[in-house]
Amino acid sequence: MAYFNSVIGNIDSHYADYTVEPSGRINITLEPGYTSSSALQSFSDWYKLVYGDSIAYLKKQGDIDQARVIMEGLWKEAPSSIHVVLELVRLNMDSGTFMEARSLIQQSLIMRGDDDLLLERSLRVEERLGNLSGILHVISSLMRSRKCT
Protein backbone atom coordinates (compact mmCIF):
# COMPACT_ATOMS: atom_id res chain seq x y z
CA MET A 1 0.00 0.00 0.00
CA ALA A 2 2.77 2.42 0.90
CA TYR A 3 4.41 1.71 -2.42
CA PHE A 4 1.34 2.64 -4.45
CA ASN A 5 0.82 5.72 -2.29
CA SER A 6 4.33 6.84 -3.18
CA VAL A 7 4.10 6.32 -6.95
CA ILE A 8 0.49 6.70 -8.03
CA GLY A 9 0.77 10.45 -8.52
CA ASN A 10 3.56 9.85 -11.04
CA ILE A 11 1.55 7.45 -13.18
CA ASP A 12 -0.68 10.01 -14.84
CA SER A 13 -0.64 13.79 -14.54
CA HIS A 14 -4.44 13.85 -14.95
CA TYR A 15 -5.02 12.30 -11.53
CA ALA A 16 -6.39 15.23 -9.54
CA ASP A 17 -6.45 13.33 -6.24
CA TYR A 18 -6.07 9.75 -5.07
CA THR A 19 -6.24 7.60 -1.96
CA VAL A 20 -5.15 4.03 -1.26
CA GLU A 21 -7.45 2.25 1.17
CA PRO A 22 -6.15 -0.32 3.69
CA SER A 23 -7.81 -3.03 1.56
CA GLY A 24 -5.55 -2.05 -1.35
CA ARG A 25 -8.35 -0.40 -3.30
CA ILE A 26 -7.17 2.74 -5.08
CA ASN A 27 -9.60 5.65 -5.45
CA ILE A 28 -8.65 8.18 -8.10
CA THR A 29 -10.34 11.50 -8.84
CA LEU A 30 -9.69 12.62 -12.40
CA GLU A 31 -9.29 16.11 -13.77
CA PRO A 32 -12.44 17.43 -15.45
CA GLY A 33 -12.70 16.21 -19.04
CA TYR A 34 -10.34 13.26 -18.55
CA THR A 35 -12.15 9.97 -19.09
CA SER A 36 -11.96 6.95 -16.84
CA SER A 37 -11.10 4.87 -19.92
CA SER A 38 -8.01 7.01 -20.54
CA ALA A 39 -7.01 6.79 -16.88
CA LEU A 40 -7.40 3.02 -16.84
CA GLN A 41 -5.30 2.69 -20.00
CA SER A 42 -2.65 4.94 -18.46
CA PHE A 43 -2.50 2.82 -15.30
CA SER A 44 -2.40 -0.40 -17.31
CA ASP A 45 0.42 0.94 -19.51
CA TRP A 46 2.38 1.98 -16.41
CA TYR A 47 1.93 -1.42 -14.77
CA LYS A 48 3.08 -3.26 -17.90
CA LEU A 49 6.04 -0.94 -18.35
CA VAL A 50 7.25 -1.14 -14.76
CA TYR A 51 6.46 -4.75 -13.91
CA GLY A 52 5.65 -6.57 -17.12
CA ASP A 53 9.15 -6.34 -18.56
CA SER A 54 10.92 -7.25 -15.33
CA ILE A 55 8.66 -10.24 -14.74
CA ALA A 56 9.02 -11.33 -18.36
CA TYR A 57 12.81 -10.98 -18.14
CA LEU A 58 12.99 -13.07 -14.98
CA LYS A 59 10.76 -15.72 -16.53
CA LYS A 60 12.94 -15.86 -19.65
CA GLN A 61 15.99 -16.26 -17.44
CA GLY A 62 14.25 -19.15 -15.68
CA ASP A 63 14.07 -17.29 -12.37
CA ILE A 64 10.42 -18.03 -11.65
CA ASP A 65 11.02 -17.88 -7.89
CA GLN A 66 12.31 -14.29 -8.04
CA ALA A 67 9.43 -13.30 -10.32
CA ARG A 68 7.04 -14.80 -7.74
CA VAL A 69 8.73 -12.82 -4.94
CA ILE A 70 8.15 -9.57 -6.85
CA MET A 71 4.53 -10.42 -7.60
CA GLU A 72 3.85 -11.54 -4.03
CA GLY A 73 5.08 -8.14 -2.85
CA LEU A 74 2.78 -6.41 -5.31
CA TRP A 75 -0.11 -8.63 -4.27
CA LYS A 76 0.39 -7.63 -0.64
CA GLU A 77 0.25 -3.98 -1.74
CA ALA A 78 -2.76 -4.38 -4.05
CA PRO A 79 -4.60 -7.65 -3.34
CA SER A 80 -7.64 -6.57 -5.33
CA SER A 81 -5.69 -5.94 -8.57
CA ILE A 82 -6.82 -8.57 -11.06
CA HIS A 83 -3.62 -8.14 -13.11
CA VAL A 84 -1.42 -8.85 -10.11
CA VAL A 85 -3.50 -11.83 -9.00
CA LEU A 86 -3.59 -13.43 -12.45
CA GLU A 87 0.15 -13.02 -12.95
CA LEU A 88 0.91 -14.44 -9.51
CA VAL A 89 -1.37 -17.41 -10.20
CA ARG A 90 0.39 -17.95 -13.54
CA LEU A 91 3.79 -17.86 -11.83
CA ASN A 92 2.62 -20.36 -9.21
CA MET A 93 1.40 -22.65 -11.97
CA ASP A 94 4.69 -22.26 -13.88
CA SER A 95 6.59 -23.31 -10.77
CA GLY A 96 4.24 -26.22 -10.08
CA THR A 97 2.76 -24.81 -6.86
CA PHE A 98 -0.84 -25.47 -7.85
CA MET A 99 -2.15 -25.55 -4.27
CA GLU A 100 -0.80 -22.02 -3.74
CA ALA A 101 -2.39 -20.95 -7.02
CA ARG A 102 -5.70 -22.45 -5.89
CA SER A 103 -5.50 -20.70 -2.51
CA LEU A 104 -4.76 -17.35 -4.15
CA ILE A 105 -7.69 -17.73 -6.52
CA GLN A 106 -10.03 -18.66 -3.67
CA GLN A 107 -8.94 -15.61 -1.65
CA SER A 108 -9.44 -13.38 -4.68
CA LEU A 109 -12.86 -14.83 -5.43
CA ILE A 110 -13.90 -14.04 -1.86
CA MET A 111 -12.77 -10.43 -2.32
CA ARG A 112 -14.07 -9.94 -5.89
CA GLY A 113 -16.98 -12.35 -6.16
CA ASP A 114 -17.40 -14.59 -9.19
CA ASP A 115 -15.00 -13.01 -11.65
CA ASP A 116 -14.86 -14.83 -15.00
CA LEU A 117 -11.10 -14.35 -15.40
CA LEU A 118 -10.45 -15.83 -11.97
CA LEU A 119 -12.89 -18.67 -12.57
CA GLU A 120 -11.28 -19.51 -15.92
CA ARG A 121 -7.85 -19.58 -14.27
CA SER A 122 -9.30 -21.68 -11.45
CA LEU A 123 -10.52 -24.18 -14.03
CA ARG A 124 -6.96 -24.51 -15.37
CA VAL A 125 -5.61 -25.07 -11.86
CA GLU A 126 -8.21 -27.74 -11.07
CA GLU A 127 -7.48 -29.44 -14.40
CA ARG A 128 -3.76 -29.55 -13.61
CA LEU A 129 -4.54 -30.95 -10.16
CA GLY A 130 -6.78 -33.60 -11.74
CA ASN A 131 -9.60 -32.60 -9.38
CA LEU A 132 -12.83 -33.61 -11.13
CA SER A 133 -15.13 -32.29 -8.39
CA GLY A 134 -13.21 -28.98 -8.43
CA ILE A 135 -13.56 -28.80 -12.23
CA LEU A 136 -17.31 -29.39 -12.02
CA HIS A 137 -17.66 -26.80 -9.25
CA VAL A 138 -15.78 -24.16 -11.27
CA ILE A 139 -17.80 -24.92 -14.42
CA SER A 140 -20.99 -24.52 -12.40
CA SER A 141 -19.74 -21.18 -11.05
CA LEU A 142 -18.79 -20.01 -14.55
CA MET A 143 -22.21 -20.94 -15.87
CA ARG A 144 -23.91 -19.05 -13.03
CA SER A 145 -21.73 -15.98 -13.54
CA ARG A 146 -22.51 -16.01 -17.25
CA LYS A 147 -26.17 -16.72 -16.50
CA CYS A 148 -26.19 -19.90 -18.58
CA THR A 149 -28.75 -22.58 -17.84
Q: CB under 8 Å to 93, separation ≥6 — which residues? A: 101, 124, 125, 128
Inter-axis angle of helices 116-129 and 132-145, nearest 10: 170
> What b/e sequence results for 59-78 when a residue is b if at least 16 CB atoms lie within 10 Å of its CB, and e otherwise?
eeeeebebbbebbbebbebb
pLDDT for 111 equals: 86
Whether 1 has a pLDDT exceeding 60, the answer reads: no
Residue 4 pLDDT class (50, 70, 90 cuts): low
pLDDT for 97 equals: 94
Least confident of 8-17, 117-126, 140-149: 8-17
Report which of residues 79 and 90 the model is more confident about.
90
**Do 80 and 104 touch, CB atoms closer than 8 A?**
no
**Do 46 and 11 touch, CB atoms closer than 8 A?**
yes
* Per-range mean pLDDT, top range of 67-76, 99-108, 110-119: 99-108
- φ/ψ of 39, rounded to 5, equals -65, -40
pTM of the model: 0.62
Whether 96 has a pLDDT exceeding 70, the answer reads: yes
Taking only the tens place, the pLDDT of each residue in 53-74 is 677 777 777 788 888 888 888 7
With CA atoms as reference, report the closest residue to 7 among 22, 30, 26, 29.
Answer: 26
Report which of residues 98 and 45 the model is more confident about.
98
Query: Amino acid identity of 144?
Result: R
Whether 95 has a pLDDT exceeding 80, the answer reads: yes
pLDDT for 27 equals: 79
